[in-house]
Amino acid sequence: MTFAAELPAWAALLTAALVLLGAGLAFTGSLGLLRFSSFYERVHAPTLATTLGAGCVLIASMIFFSVLQTRPVVHEILIAIFLALTTPVTLMLLVRAALFRDRVEGRTYDEAKTRALPTVKNAPGPGRLAPIQAEPNELPPTRHPDNGDEHDYR
Amino acid sequence: MSRWLPFPLLSAGLLTMWLLLNQTVAVGHILLGAALALCIAWGTRAVQPSKTRLRRLGAIIRLFFVVLGDIIRSNAAVTWIILRPGQRRGTSSFVDIPLELRNPYGLAVLACIITSTPGTLWAGFDSATGVVTVHILDLIDENAWFDIIKGRYERLLLEIFE
């Protein structure tokens, strides 16, 4: 990356800070994926990487290339839009599938929360970082009938 | 108008996307992008999406910045939950929130907002009762979430879509 040497100091610092922040958030999200004990909690973690994490990296990319090419480079916005549209759909699909499976298998929310993936639960794992324990609670599905409501936006 | 341009907003969005992808505003690309946008919008008629109207540009802009602020704040909150030391008992739980919003597009936007914000998850919507089930990672005060989702998001979405 010899051409990066032409970058002025302020832009280099800003880019570096934003990339580090974005990478840090993505790493924290991955760590959360490992630390949380239940599926429903785990789904929260990767959103760190797809919202602010990705946002920081994209803004860094915009600054870096705009300054280098001395013209506004903004097509990173498209990546942000596609991420904002696709990630929630995927996560909702996963949560609906998990709720459905827990309901079919007759598992309560309490059991679902403490049930961790066996590989993670039994692994010697991340040292001091023990899984965050969950408190008993209720699954919500009693209201949701399984007999196909066709106007179901769930 | 409606025959040649069935979904003006969709076409405009597609044209913008094409120009952004090619990083140009050359006449040739505008023509190509416009042709593409018209064809895709025309093809979309086959899916027969229900039409809706967007109102109040001000509310849309306000919603964007409210969501942006909330995403930054909840990123910090969830980072703290993950990184704080020691073994903690989780306080995650499902919360049922009754909504007045019925517009499918409005509900879709609300679902995207809630799911992409770290710490909250859209877990289901009962169209018969209008109750949305949200999974919240760190539930301390249930009423605070009522205020955020109903007072902040739903009010603006009602202004925009209904």
pLDDT tens digits along A87-137: 889 888 988 888 888 888 877 665 555 544 333 333 333 333 444 444 445
Instruction: Identify the H or E element spanning A111.
Output: helix A109-114
CA distance A22 to A115: 31
pLDDT at A151: 45
Report long-range pairs for B21-28 (Cβ below 8 Å, ≥24 apart).
B21/A75, B21/A78, B23/A73, B23/A75
pLDDT at B57: 81
Window 81-140 of A, Cβ < 8 Å to B: 84-85, 87-89, 91-92, 95-96, 99, 109, 113, 128, 130, 132-135, 137-140
B92 and B146 inside one domain: yes
Q: Which backbone phi and psi does A73 adopt, to 5 degrees?
A: -110, 110
Candidates A57, A35, A88; CA nearest to B112 is A88
B134 strand-pairing partners: B95, B122
Per domain, the residue ranges of chain A are 8-125
Please answer whether residues B153 and B106 qualify as being in contact, where contact means their C-beta atoms are separated by less than 8 angstroms: no
B100 and B36 inside one domain: no
Window 71-100 of B, Cβ < 8 Å to A: 71-72, 75, 78-79, 81-83, 85, 87-94, 96
Chain B residues closer than 8 Å to A78 by CB: 17, 20-21
CATH code, domain with B61: 3.30.70
Count structural domains, chain B: 2
Does the model's pTM come out above 0.95?
A: no
Angle between helices A9-35 and B57-83 (to 10 degrees): 60
Residue percentage of chain B with pLDDT more than 70: 94
Instruction: Identify the H or E element spanning A26.
Output: helix A9-35
Chain B residues closer than 8 Å to A87 by CB: 115-116
Whether residues B88 and A113 touch (CB distance < 8 A) is answered with: no
What's the order of all strands across the beta sheet hosting B120-126?
B93-98, B131-136, B120-126
Domain interval for residue B147: 57-161
**Nearest CA distance, A120 vs chain B (angstrom):** 16
Q: What is the pLDDT of residues B45-82, one digit of tens each?
A: 777 777 777 777 888 888 889 889 988 988 888 888 88
B82 and B146 inside one domain: yes
Chain A residues closer than 8 Å to B133 by CB: 140
Domain-embedded: residue B1: no
pLDDT at A117: 39
Q: What is the pLDDT of residues A36-79, one digit of tens each?
A: 878 888 888 888 888 899 999 999 999 888 888 888 888 888 89
B103 and B43 inside one domain: no
pLDDT at B87: 63
Question: Using 50, 70 and 90 to split pLDDT, how confident is the model at A26?
Answer: very high
B107 and B64 inside one domain: yes
Mean pLDDT of chain A: 74
B69 and B141 inside one domain: yes
B107 and B139 inside one domain: yes
Residue percentage of chain A with pLDDT more than 70: 67
Candidates B78, B13, B100; CA nearest to A78 is B13
B82 and B132 inside one domain: yes
The SS3 of residue B124 is strand
pLDDT at A118: 37
Question: Using 50, 70 and 90 to split pLDDT, how confident is the model at A20?
Answer: very high
Domain-embedded: residue B52: no
Question: Using 50, 70 and 90 to split pLDDT, how confident is the model at A146?
Answer: very low
Domain-embedded: residue B121: yes
Neighbours of B155 (CB within 10 A): 15
CB-neighbour burial class of residue B72 (10 A; exposed 0-12, middle 13-18, buried 19+): middle
Chain B residues closer than 8 Å to A137 by CB: 92-94
CA distance A126 to A34: 8
The SS3 of residue B118 is coil
B61 and B134 inside one domain: yes
